[in-house]
Amino acid sequence: MMHAPFITVNTGFSLSCNTIVTVFSDLRPSKTPTRQIISPMVPKVEVELDKLKKETLEMWTLVYNQLQRAGEAVLTLDKDLARQVILRERRVNAFELKIDSDVEDIIALYNPVAVQLRFVLAVLKTNTNLERIGDFAEGIARFVLDFKEPSVDPELMKRLHLAEMIDNVLAMLQTLYEALQKESSVLASRLFEMDSSVDEINRAAPDILVDYILENPTTNAKDALRLSGIFRKLERVGDHCTNIAEEIIFYLDAKVLKHQGKINPE
């Protein structure tokens, strides 16, 4: 044993019990090695959380571009652009799986608590909402491919305020991106008012379409009515944006806003 030299008396003098206790006390692991083991873990957690945030913002950019292209495709009935949106949907799905996996790893390896745990949970739910927005962008693109008419009456589009609705949901996504990037609950709170204008346009669309069909008997009624599906999809995008806003506010301020206002179905 390594301790034997300290208890064998070969020098002609004896060791007191206190001396032996002191010697053995010096051999006990001090607190310093423990701090050396734990302290590298703290920045490691921060590094992993920072990577997770960057991944989420990258997915955000991808989903924003998908929705922007889908909106442009439906306004111009550009079928080639619609096909690009559909093909890129696979990247959105792959991003969602990657972020889900990273969240699971962080929880398993680092056991985050308090604000770190709130951030990880907010990212997990935000990731799901972003993927759903990507699905709606794909759905809008598929509508363009299935649309029979070569164009839509510009007057009808003006009355429907479709371009305005697309701009509004894109602005909501952009505001949320900045809210997470800058960690601003004030920016996130703006989403609820922005969503109201999206809901208003959606509610008005069916009556406008019916009136247009009655005024223009030669119109392809089926295509005109199917156009209302675009408004429902955009309205759902707005709902998912408000869901994300709630998660950001929960992460930053520890305030739970879910179910306090409009109920957003999953």
Range of weakest confidence among 1-5, 10-14, 32-36, 89-93: 32-36
CB of 253 closer than 8 Å to CB of 120: no
> ∠ CA(53), CA(102), CA(129), 5° rounding?
65
Q: Report the 10 Å Cβ neighbour count for 236.
A: 20
205-247: pLDDT as tens digits: 999 999 998 998 877 778 888 889 999 999 999 999 999 999 9
Distance of CA 12 to the CA centre of its chain: 75
- Predicted pLDDT at 25: 42
Which CATH superfamily includes the segment(s) 45-253? Phosphate transport system protein phou homolog 2; domain 2 (1.20.58.220)
Q: Which sign does the torsion angle of CA 210, 163, 245, 193 carry?
A: negative
Q: What type of residue is 90?
A: R
CA 264 – CA 224 distance, rounded (Å): 27
Quick one: which of 101, 135, 136 has its CA closest to 232? 136
In the predicted model, what is the mean pLDDT of residues 192-210?
A: 95
Token representation of residue 207: 């009556």
Supply the pTM of this predicted model. Answer: 0.79
- Predicted pLDDT at 233: 97
- Predicted pLDDT at 100: 96
CB of 231 closer than 8 Å to CB of 192: no
